[in-house]
């Protein structure tokens, strides 16, 4: 929306320039039209032309500015709807990818300490919850997971729902170990949640695949590695974290695995 805001500023500036030109033109016309009638008449005519132009132009400019502000507000609301997941309130896939690209551009433009962690978070046994407890409870699980993700992150971190029960997170971290600790904290927070009521309550858990990069990378590259690590976390028993330092295809990487049995590294 910053582009729309800049466009509105440009349009208002153009209106101001136009109003100034109209004032100058009216004053010039009064000067040349009444120059033969003496200095006093010329000055009065110029003043009248200026005031008349302002009196007719300012209300129009005020109206145009108010309309532009309303349009900007409406566009902002439409933009939020377009990039927000209606169920959970976090970014949808389109919005997340857009915010991710901006984050990568920022990393390219400035020298930063540390790097970026990318997590893919997937609800464990989600189909079982839907089938056994019903889709409304499944929706409750997704809302609860999204709320836990938002509570676990800082204001500058981004989180989005990119698939049915799959979420993505991008956040700045000083190193891979700090990224692993954040991912483990998220896993442990969600593992304390449950959905349903009475005897039909079901515990929640997530598996997290992560990738840590010290430099800007494409969404596809980080997502691909994080998704592969998510598969490893699922295969390893679910309710755990698998995080790797990003390397190009075929490169070596350090592996961190976190879950109910602690943190391993190699």
pLDDT tens, the chain, 266 aa long: 455 566 666 767 777 777 777 777 777 877 767 777 777 777 877 777 777 777 777 776 777 777 777 766 666 656 676 889 999 999 999 999 999 998 888 766 555 567 899 999 999 999 999 999 999 999 999 999 999 999 998 878 999 999 999 999 999 988 999 999 999 999 999 999 999 888 889 999 999 999 999 888 889 999 999 999 999 999 999 999 999 998 766 444 444 445 443 343 32
Q: And the tokens for 6?
A: 């800049």
Q: Which of 83, 110, 135 is a domain's end point?
A: 83
| Residue 155 and residue 216 in one domain | yes
| Residue 118 and residue 55 in one domain | no
Alpha-carbon Rg for the chain in angstroms: 29
The verdict on residue 88 lying in a domain is no
The verdict on residue 24 lying in a domain is yes
The verdict on residue 99 lying in a domain is yes
Q: Which domain holds residue 105?
A: 93-265
Residue 262 to residue 64: CA distance in whole angstroms: 62
Residues 13, 17, 20, 26, Cα dihedral to 10°: -140
pTM of the model: 0.69
- 165 as an active site residue: the answer is yes
Residue 239 to residue 191: CA distance in whole angstroms: 8
| Residue 78 and residue 148 in one domain | no
Sort 255 into a burial class: Cβ within 10 Å, 0-12 / 13-18 / 19+.
middle
How many structural domains compose the chain? 2
Q: How many CB atoms lie within 10 A of CB 100?
A: 22
Q: Which residues contact 208 (CB under 8 A, 6 or more apart)?
A: 119, 120, 121, 122, 183, 186, 187, 230, 233, 240, 241, 242, 243
Q: Which of 65, 83, 101 is a domain's end point?
A: 83
Question: What letter does residue 91 receive in the DSSP assignment?
Answer: B
| Residue 59 and residue 137 in one domain | no
Question: Of the listed 99, 165, 166, 249, which one is catalytic?
Answer: 165
């Amino acid at each position: 929306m910053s582009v729309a805001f800049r466009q509105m500023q440009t349009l208002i500036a153009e209106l101001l320039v136009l109003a100034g030109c109209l004032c100058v033109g009216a004053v010039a016309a009064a000067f040349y039209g009444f120059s033969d009638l003496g200095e006093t008449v010329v000055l009065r005519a110029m003043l009248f032309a200026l005031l008349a132009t302002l009196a007719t132009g300012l209300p129009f400019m005020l109206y145009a500015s108010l309309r532009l502000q309303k349009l900007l507000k409406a566009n902002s609301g439409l933009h939020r709807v377009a990039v927000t997941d209606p169920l959970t309130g976090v970014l949808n896939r389109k919005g997340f990818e857009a915010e991710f690209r901006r984050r990568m551009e920022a990393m390219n433009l400035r020298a930063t300490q540390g790097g970026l962690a990318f997590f893919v978070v997937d609800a464990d046994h989600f189909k079982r919850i839907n089938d056994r407890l019903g889709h409304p409870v499944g929706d409750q699980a997704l809302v609860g997971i999204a709320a836990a993700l938002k509570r676990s992150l800082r204001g500058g971190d981004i989180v989005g729902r990119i698939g049915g029960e799959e979420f993505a997170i991008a956040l700045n971290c000083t190193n891979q170990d700090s990224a692993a600790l954040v991912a483990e904290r998220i896993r442990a927070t969600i593992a304390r949640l449950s959905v349903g009521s009475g005897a039909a309550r079901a515990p929640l858990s997530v598996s997290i695949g992560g990738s840590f990069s010290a430099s800007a990378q494409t969404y596809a590259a980080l997502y691909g590695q994080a998704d592969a690590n998510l598969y490893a976390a699922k295969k390893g028993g679910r309710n755990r974290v698998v995080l790797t330092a990003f390397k190009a295809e075929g490169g070596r990487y350090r592996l961190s695995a976190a879950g109910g049995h602690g943190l391993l590294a190699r």
